[in-house]
């Protein structure tokens, strides 16, 4: 691509839009990985996102007037997905009642040797996010009396979270265990 500054500005604007349009977060994240040397195909893909957003301008986050203020989270890590680095993607989202209020999907800085480690790190990160969200709710004067719910589809992670005895092969993730 001839002028990468145009691509940089467009990706920056799309990243800003992901605050209210989580449906484009994944593809914008993928396109932002090519900021160093964008190609024409990347620019065309970014323009395609803009066209789709224009067609669905009424879509976005919906905040109902009445909701139960129960905090619920979902965790979904993806182990060794990146074909170049074999780093894992850590993803989670949180709902307050039926409204999506927080989400994250990012490629981690470390390479893990086991899926259990990846899943547990993601669970620990989501736990920290949920504690911050509870603090934020209290700051806004919303009392969240009941415990929050955090869902994970990993049976080994759920078993480890429920078992306070750490085994020799999992002691390297002991800090994450204490967070959860």
Q: Is 127 helix (H, G, I), strand (E, B) or coil?
A: helix
Is it the case that residue 155 has pLDDT exceeding 70?
A: yes
- In this prediction, residue 114 carries a pLDDT of 67
Answer for the pair 103, 160: CB distance below 8 angstroms, yes or no.
no
Does residue 11 come out as left (phi exceeding 0), alpha (psi in the -120 to 50 range) or beta?
alpha
**Which whole number is the average pLDDT over 14-21?**
82
pTM of the model: 0.64
pLDDT of residue 120: 78
Q: Contact 137/144 with Cβ under 8 angstroms?
A: yes
- The average pLDDT across 30-43 equals 88
Range of lowest pLDDT (91-100, 102-111, 130-139, 142-151): 102-111
Residue 53 has pLDDT above 80, yes or no: yes
Token pair belonging to 1? 């691509």
pLDDT of residue 109: 66
Give the start-to-end residue ranges of the domains of the chain.
Answer: 4-55, 71-179
The secondary element (H helix, E strand) that includes residue 43 is helix 40-55
Is the pLDDT reported for residue 11 higher than 80?
A: yes
Residues 111-150, buried b or exposed e (16+ Cβ, 10 A)? ebeebbbbbbbbbbbbbebbeebeeebeeeeeeeeeebeb
Task: Please provide the average confidence, as pLDDT, over all residues in the chain.
Answer: 78
Which sign, positive or negative, has the C-alpha torsion 108, 81, 111, 126? positive
DSSP 3-state of 131: helix
User: What backbone phi and psi angles, to 5 degrees, belong to 127?
Assistant: -65, -45
Taking the C-alpha atoms of residue 53 and residue 24, their distance in angstroms, rounded to an integer, is 9
Return the pLDDT at 47: 92
100 and 133 Cβ atoms separated by less than 8 Å: no
Mean pLDDT score, 56-75? 76
Residue 97: CB atoms within 10 A of its CB come to: 14
């Amino acid at each position: 691509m001839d002028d990468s500054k145009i691509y940089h500005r467009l990706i920056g604007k799309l990243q800003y839009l992901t605050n209210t349009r989580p449906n484009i977060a994944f593809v914008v994240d993928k396109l932002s990985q090519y900021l160093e040397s964008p190609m024409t195909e990347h620019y065309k893909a970014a323009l395609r996102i803009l066209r789709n957003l224009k067609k669905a301008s009424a879509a976005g986050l919906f905040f109902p007037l009445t909701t139960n203020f129960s905090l619920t989270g979902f965790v979904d890590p993806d182990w060794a997905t990146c074909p170049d680095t074999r780093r894992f993607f850590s993803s989670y989202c949180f709902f307050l009642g039926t409204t999506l209020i927080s989400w994250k999907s990012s490629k981690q800085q470390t390479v893990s040797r086991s899926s259990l480690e990846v899943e547990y790190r993601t669970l620990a990160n989501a736990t920290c996010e949920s504690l911050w969200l509870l603090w934020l709710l209290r700051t806004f004067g919303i009392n969240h009396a009941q415990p929050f719910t955090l869902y994970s589809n990993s049976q080994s992670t759920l078993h480890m979270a429920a078992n306070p005895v750490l085994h020799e092969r999992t002691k390297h993730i002991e800090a994450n265990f204490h967070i959860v």
